[in-house]
Amino acid sequence: MRAVPAGGTEEAAAEAPVGVAAGRLHAAAPEVDPEERALLAFAVAFKGLLRGRMRDAVCVRAEACVARGDLPEEALTEEPIYRWWSAALRAQQDFYVDVTAAIVDRQLEALAATARTIARDPGPGSLTLDPSVRVPTYQAAVDIHCVPGSYFLERIADDVGPGARSELGSLAFAMGRHGAMNEDKGVVAAEFARSFAPDLAIRRILDLGCTIGMSTLAWCDAFPAAEVHAVDVSAPCLRYGHARARALGRCVHFRQADAEALPYPDGSFDVVASHILLHETSRAALPRIFAECHRVLVPGGAMVHVEVPIRDLDPAAAFLARWDAWNNNEPFWGHLAGLDLAGLCVQAGFPQEGVVETVVPSAHQKAGGWLVLAARKPA
């Protein structure tokens, strides 16, 4: 059973219909006052309209386009319902991003000070930053998810702002459907790893592109005896993630590193995982990331990537699934849907027969489940 921090904040988050409770999620988290929570509740209610009946109607129109033999890309974009739905969805995205950024902004220095204190105090896990790590070009090309400054904005010493905003934003975005602490992807990945490699003694785990470690902590819970490591290129997110993990009583070794050039010796980990990292990379980066996964795995080790299920969809669903690629600054999302991922795994050294690509259900209420790409290094 997972440790619940003092104050029962995980329960508070679980009860919050908007995914973000008023107050503080944990000791390192931004405080959300009741007025800010009201704004987030509005954002979530608005998203509920757009992701509910309006999306259903857009789906029906997209299917009608396909049935007529029209390309949704051409025909649907002329229809008012699609245009207004898209414009409203983008306006909703901009709105909740701005609200969450403002919440963090008003307490930016206090959040940095809290994270600094938590990091200085004795506690589990570690944080290793490396200023020589560069933001990959695929992350620098646009601000992912239309968040101004993305994951890398640093305005004060020891800034944790992008990490804190990421936590609030993720919870509001998921509307509580990805778990009280947005841990769904990690729970799914850990459960999958256990069944995918039942003979594997999982003692050392690496999470790639961990952001603030929301999925990472699920690995701590699933394998409490294992040593859990997590890397990301964003220093503000790692600072926040380290403080967050400690505040929630989990032991994670965070390190600033690029998934294309991992600072670990060959054969360091039993499992290498990622959680919706792949669609935020690039065509050129993927083979290098898979090759690094292969290199740092022990013989017999398992690679488990969890992704948004955007592959093998019918044309109408595929068109709608690409909405984020075109309108929410996810430039590689659409490309990933068409890639031979299994082929790239084989190219990286994983045997073809050991590569699995499947869709698994959410451990919470996330509709459509998750795509899992997994492979094992020969023993």
Partner 1 sequence: MRAPSRDARRRAIPPRPRAALGARPRLLASADSEVLLAMIVALAAEVHRLEDRHDRLLAALARDGVKLPEEAGPASARAPRAEALVERVFRVFDEMAERALRGDDEPYPDVVDRLGRPEGP
Binding region for partner 1 (CB under 8 A) out of 80-88, 180-188, 211-219, 243-251: 80-88
Residue 50 near partner 1 by CB under 8 A: yes
Q: Which residues contact 252 (CB under 8 A, 6 or more apart)?
A: 124, 125, 213, 216, 217, 220, 228, 229, 230, 241, 242, 245
Give 70 or 109: the residue with its C-beta nearer to partner 1: 109
Residue 23 zone, left/alpha/beta (φ > 0; ψ -120 to 50; rest): left
Residue 148 near partner 1 by CB under 8 A: yes
Amino acid identity of residue 65, one-letter, is C
Q: Which residues contact 150 (CB under 8 A, 6 or more apart)?
A: 139, 143, 144, 162
Residue 109 near partner 1 by CB under 8 A: yes
Residue 136 near partner 1 by CB under 8 A: no
Q: How far is CA 6 from the centre of its chain?
A: 26
Best CA proximity match to 240, nearest among 71, 339, 98, 112: 112
Provide the total of helices (H) and of strands (E) in the chain, helices listed first: 16, 8
Distances (CA, A) of 355 to 296, 299, 358: 17, 15, 10
For the CB of residue 114, give the shortest distance to partner 1 in the complex, in Å: 16
Give 116 or 311: the residue with its C-beta nearer to partner 1: 116
Binding region for partner 1 (CB under 8 A) out of 44-52, 189-197, 300-308, 364-372: 44-52
Residue 63 near partner 1 by CB under 8 A: no
Q: How far is CA 185 from the centre of its chain?
A: 8
When binding is defined by CB under 8 A, the residue of 27, 58, 259, 303 that contacts partner 1 is 58
Number of residues this chain uses to bind partner 1 (CB under 8 A): 58
Residue 143 near partner 1 by CB under 8 A: yes
When binding is defined by CB under 8 A, the residue of 3, 87, 284, 359 that contacts partner 1 is 87
Residue 14 near partner 1 by CB under 8 A: no
Residue 372 near partner 1 by CB under 8 A: no
Distances (CA, A) of 316 to 60, 90, 105, 335: 9, 20, 40, 17
Binding region for partner 1 (CB under 8 A) out of 207-215, 272-280, 296-304, 325-333: 325-333
For the CB of residue 42, give the shortest distance to partner 1 in the complex, in Å: 4
> Interface residues for partner 1 in 186-215 (CB under 8 A)?
none
Largest CA distance in the chain: 65
Q: How many C-beta atoms surround the C-beta of residue 150 within 10 A?
A: 18
Residue 41 near partner 1 by CB under 8 A: yes
Question: Would you tell me which residues interact with partner 1 (CB under 8 A)?
Answer: 34-35, 37-39, 41-46, 48-50, 53-54, 56-58, 60-61, 64, 80-81, 83-88, 90-92, 94-95, 97-99, 101, 105, 108-109, 141-143, 146-150, 153, 155-156, 161, 326-327, 329, 331
